Amino acid sequence: MNVNLSRIRLIMMREWTHRIRQRSFIITTAIMVIVALALVLAPTVISAIWGDDNGDADADTVIVADQTGSDGFVDQLNAFANASGLGDAVVFLAGNADLDPADVVSDGDADGVLTISRGDGGALNFIYTNDDGELDQTAVLAYSAAGEITLQDNLVRAGIDAEQAQQVNTAPVITVRSSDGQAASAEDTEEGFRYSIAYIAALMMYMMVMMYGMWVAQGVVEEKSSRIMEIMINAARPTELMFGKVIGIGMSGLTQILPILLVAGVGLFSQERLADALDVTGIEFSGIDFGAISTSLVVFFLVYFLLGFLLYAALYAGVGSLVSRQEDVQTMMTPMTFAVIIGFFGGLYTLSAPDSLVARIVSIFPLTSPMAMVPRVLLGDPAPWEIALSIGLLAATGYLAVVLAARVYRMGVLMYGQKPSLKVIFQRDRVTAAR
Amino acid sequence: MSLSIDRVSKNFGDFRVIDDVSFDVQQGRMFGFLGTNGAGKTTTMRMILDIIRADTGTISWNGTLTSDVSRREFGYLPEERGLYPKMPVDDQLLFLAQLYGAERQAAQRSLDHWLRRLDIEENRHKRVEQLSKGNQQKIQFLAAVLHDPEILILDEPFSGLDPVNAAQMEDAFNEMKVQGKTIIFSTHQLDQAQKMCEDVAIIHRGGLLITGDVQSVRESTGQKILRFGVQGEADLAWLDRYPAAEVRRRGRDHVELRIPDEELAQRILRDAVAAGKQVERFEVTVPSLNDIFLTEVQGSGASAEDIERIRASSSGEEAA
């Protein structure tokens, strides 16, 4: 097929520049950027407004008033906090033996005071003072630490040497497991994050195909109802018109999506700083590991977006060519909408069972693969030939869809208000010319 | 050097839209393509442009099938006017000119020229939907000419234009002709075609009735038109004595007759003078295109309704 690239470029640029200059495009994009930013920042901002107002972003400080005269308790306490995984949340500091706990707490110099003394029998005595006397996380930590320190102290006082006492007093190793037998671990957090990325990828693919596919359909119907089609078809080949239109609208879509992703990304990165600034605690950011988004993944997503969009946009354009009035677009689009939704469900299924037979099929079948293969690459282990087959099939189907859509479009020029039959669509050179 | 339509036929379903039509358009000529609504003018023009393809027959430009001729050679003003309603005039026209294959700079110069020429320069940056109908049509015309095509195919370019705009459009046509362009336009206003065209083709119900240069088409029947007026007599009932003379119209002060030859006109004049009548008007001309059209259509067995429609669409006084 003899296709003129400079004409495709012209049509593409017209679609792109004309569309992104429209007020409706600018306003919609601005609103979407704001909504995305709001969604990303919502947890932090909401905590800042409604969260605990005692909250400081730093760790709780506990001043230790050691009246026993022996030092080392502060180190032991901090070591215990670290071993319990709360090293960042609670810090024990040495203070004067004779400070007034109530004063220290009410002045706000510390979140709590741990007073250590010895009773008549030499046994250790602990008093923990905080502002409301409640058993909060820090109090529980102090309580547990006190238990361990007391045990060690008792052993030493019973005549066992310190090193042996240490060994006897080894803290138990406790692992918290979930019911599926997987240990909660850092790897798990990463897995969760990959899952989120996979879900977002499928969802975005679905939304973009749906939204921008609709733009293509509306663009075609606009050309039909404004009757400019007849001029366009005279100046350029239908295939050129189709490729130019689909690529141009795809670019408009990316022009809308990229600022949104950029702002959302910046929002995520600046979360911690924002949390600091707003004095918010208790939000876990450590699970967000952008390392999971590799360059190859981004490229992968883009390839599937471009090819998947090509396929779906061509189908939308073909269906749009059968419609004469803007009002009829929605009705005619219903089957298309179903196809996209089925694709999305295919993607969702892949999330739960990435290497199952169904997932393998939907990640290769062209209408579902854009929404299923990216999650599968993230969560499962597709064979290279599967990926190659999937991309190849998608590209071939996309190309065929464009050519077919071009033919329907071509024929639509001459048929206003009547429904062309499938037979007519496939007839060459009869109602439609070969151009 | 010509556009040659050779034995072209086209069916839509079982309906024969164009039936074995042949005619030539010489390069550089102003060619009128005439017929009533539904006669097949638009279909033929679309086939010349290869928007639809003939079932049988060929259409070629200087020996090359028009389907193989570069799109740049054709400028097209479709009957169904169409532009992007929300796109500014200048962006839109430059886009279309470039799509046809014109250089941007050349198209820009041409645009400047034509906007001045058609007196619509102040609309340059407006969106098409903001323009009046007449101005939209001028823009549509520019969409057909900015890429400097050799052949202009203009479907009903004058419909819906007021007299001022129509005159400007006519001027524009003449400028294109001076540049050596071949202009083919369709119209159902035969008096306008007679005024503007060098050559015409008249089609009716898909078949070609007659084609050739305007003068030879008008003389083709050999008949004459006599306009005859006598002082004090409006109806001139005595003209019924001449069965060969067909009264076509009775005006306020004269009667218009179709006569087979000039001789009859002289006889009527002599008889009137002999009867002592005071002849105020005596004018013998060749029939107008409209007359020819009516003659041909009647000859081709058109219905009374067809003829009535043609009569209604032609204007009152025909120019000689």
Tally A–B CB contacts below 8 A.
Answer: 67
Which residues fall within 8 angstroms of residue B48, CB to CB, at 6 or more apart?
Answer: B3, B5, B59, B66, B153, B184
Q: Which residue has the higher pLDDT, B100 or A148?
A: B100
Q: What is the pTM of this model?
A: 0.73
Of B49, B76, B98, the CB nearest to A10: B98
The number of beta carbons lying within 10 Å of the beta carbon of residue A303 is 16
What's the rounded Cα separation, in Å, for the pair B41 and B156?
10
CA-based nearest distance A236→chain B, Å: 7
What's the rounded Cα separation, in Å, for the pair A278 and A211?
36
The reported pLDDT for the residue numbered A172 is 65
The reported pLDDT for the residue numbered B312 is 58
CA-based nearest distance A10→chain B, Å: 7
Percent of chain A surpassing pLDDT 70: 83
CA-based nearest distance A1→chain B, Å: 14
Which strand ranges, in their side-by-side order, compose the sheet holding B15-26? B15-26, B2-12, B56-61, B64-65
Range with the poorest average pLDDT among A59-68, A178-187, A423-432: A423-432
User: Which candidate in B50, B51, B146 is best for mutational testing of the A interface (most A CBs within 10 A)?
Assistant: B51
Which residues fall within 8 angstroms of residue B202, CB to CB, at 6 or more apart?
Answer: B34, B35, B208, B209, B210, B211, B217, B289, B292, B293, B296
The reported pLDDT for the residue numbered A42 is 78
For residue A7, which residues of chain B lie inside 8 Å, CB to CB? 99
Q: Which residue has the higher pLDDT, B42 or B317?
A: B42
Residues of A near B (Cβ–Cβ under 8 Å) read 7, 10-11, 14, 18, 22, 222-223, 226-236, 413-414, 429, 431-435
The reported pLDDT for the residue numbered A54 is 45
Q: Which residue has the higher pLDDT, B158 or A184?
A: B158
User: What's the mean per-residue pLDDT of chain B?
Assistant: 88
Pick the residue from chain B with its C-alpha nearest to A21: B87
Q: Is B67 in contact with A435 (Cβ distance < 8 A)?
A: yes
Core vs surface per residue B36-56: b (16+ CB within 10 A) or e: beebbbbbbbbbbbbbbbbbe
For residue A234, which residues of chain B lie inside 8 Å, CB to CB? 49, 51, 71, 74, 76
* Token pair for B139: 């823009």
Q: Is B91 in contact with A231 (Cβ distance < 8 A)?
A: no
Of B52, B78, B91, the CB nearest to A433: B52
Which range is most confident: A38-47, A344-353, B210-219, B227-236? B210-219
Q: What is the DSSP letter of A281?
A: -
- List the one residue out of A233, A243, A435 whose CA is nearest residue B69: A435
pLDDT at B110 over 50: yes
- Residue carrying structure tokens 């939204």: A211
Confidence of residue A292 (pLDDT cuts 50, 70, 90): low
- List the one residue out of B167, B146, B169, B196 whose CA is nearest residue B30: B196
Beta carbons of B146 and B102 less than 8 angstroms apart? yes
Q: List the end-to-end C-alpha distance of chain A, in Å, as a whole number.
A: 10
Q: Is B82 in contact with A235 (Cβ distance < 8 A)?
A: no
For the residues A363-381, what does the mean pLDDT come to? 87
The reported pLDDT for the residue numbered A416 is 46
User: Which candidate in A226, A232, A233 is best for mutational testing of the B interface (most B CBs within 10 A)?
Assistant: A226
pLDDT at B318 over 60: no
CA-based nearest distance A8→chain B, Å: 9
H-only helix segments in A51-175: 73-83, 101-107, 137-157, 162-168
Confidence of residue B301 (pLDDT cuts 50, 70, 90): low
Q: How far is CA B85 from CA A25, A372, B82, B92, B140, in A?
A: 17, 40, 8, 10, 12
The reported pLDDT for the residue numbered A181 is 54
pLDDT at A231 over 50: yes
Q: Is A433 in contact with B96 (Cβ distance < 8 A)?
A: no
What's the rounded Cα separation, in Å, for the pair B32 and A325?
34
The reported pLDDT for the residue numbered A428 is 44
Percent of chain B surpassing pLDDT 70: 93
* Token pair for B275: 């009867």
* Token pair for A44: 């932090």
The reported pLDDT for the residue numbered A398 is 93
* Token pair for A423: 């037979």
3-state secondary structure of A185: coil
> CA A315, A319, A325, A330 torsion: positive or negative?
negative
- In degrees, to the nearest 5, what angle opens at C-alpha B64 toward C-alphas B61 and B66? 60
Torsion, Cα B15 B21 B26 B30, to 10 degrees, reads -50
The reported pLDDT for the residue numbered B61 is 95
The reported pLDDT for the residue numbered B88 is 92
Residue A85 CA, chain-centre distance (Å), reads 27
For residue B86, which residues of chain A lie inside 8 Å, CB to CB? 18, 22
Which residues fall within 8 angstroms of residue A237, CB to CB, at 6 or more apart?
Answer: A2, A3, A4, A7, A406, A435
Chain segment A150-186, per-residue pLDDT in tens: 888 888 888 888 777 777 777 666 666 666 555 455 5
Chain segment A12-50, per-residue pLDDT in tens: 999 999 999 989 999 999 999 998 888 888 777 777 776
Confidence of residue A380 (pLDDT cuts 50, 70, 90): confident
Q: List the end-to-end C-alpha distance of chain B, in Å, as a whole number.
A: 31
| Phi (first) and psi of residue B26, to 5 degrees | -70, 145
CA-based nearest distance B23→chain A, Å: 22
Q: Is A18 in contact with B78 (Cβ distance < 8 A)?
A: no
Chain segment A267-279, per-residue pLDDT in tens: 877 776 777 776 6
Q: Is B52 in contact with A414 (Cβ distance < 8 A)?
A: yes
User: Which candidate in A231, A233, A407 is best for mutational testing of the B interface (most B CBs within 10 A)?
Assistant: A231
Confidence of residue B97 (pLDDT cuts 50, 70, 90): very high
For the residues A387-405, what does the mean pLDDT come to? 93
Q: Is B95 in contact with A10 (Cβ distance < 8 A)?
A: yes
Q: Which residue has the higher pLDDT, B41 or A302?
A: B41
CA-based nearest distance A207→chain B, Å: 27
Q: Is B76 in contact with A414 (Cβ distance < 8 A)?
A: no
What's the rounded Cα separation, in Å, for the pair A335 and A319?
10
What's the rounded Cα separation, in Å, for the pair B47 and B69?
13
Q: Which residue has the higher pLDDT, A184 or B86?
A: B86
For residue B67, which residues of chain A lie inside 8 Å, CB to CB? 433-435
pLDDT at A118 over 90: no
Beta carbons of B195 and B59 less than 8 angstroms apart? no
Q: Is B67 in contact with A433 (Cβ distance < 8 A)?
A: yes
Q: Which residue has the higher pLDDT, B304 or A109?
A: A109
Q: Is A433 in contact with B50 (Cβ distance < 8 A)?
A: yes
3-state secondary structure of A109: coil
The reported pLDDT for the residue numbered A56 is 46
Chain segment A319-340, per-residue pLDDT in tens: 888 877 777 777 878 888 888 8
What's the rounded Cα separation, in Å, for the pair B217 and B219?
5
Beta carbons of B46 and B94 less than 8 angstroms apart? no
Residues of B near A (Cβ–Cβ under 8 Å) read 12, 46, 49-53, 67, 71, 74, 76, 78, 80-87, 91, 95-96, 98-100, 143
Beta carbons of B124 and B90 less than 8 angstroms apart? yes
Q: How far is CA B292 from CA B18, B30, B247, B287, in A?
A: 21, 19, 15, 6
Pick the residue from chain B with its C-alpha nearest to A225: B82
Confidence of residue A282 (pLDDT cuts 50, 70, 90): low
Core vs surface per residue B152-188: b (16+ CB within 10 A) or e: bbbbbbbeebeeebbebbbebbeebbeeebbbbbbbb
The number of beta carbons lying within 10 Å of the beta carbon of residue B288 is 19
Environment class of A11 (CB within 10 Å of its CB; exposed 0-12, middle 13-18, buried 19+): buried
For residue B102, which residues of chain A lie inside 8 Å, CB to CB? none
Range with the poorest average pLDDT among A252-261, A262-271, B217-226: A262-271
CA-based nearest distance B225→chain A, Å: 43
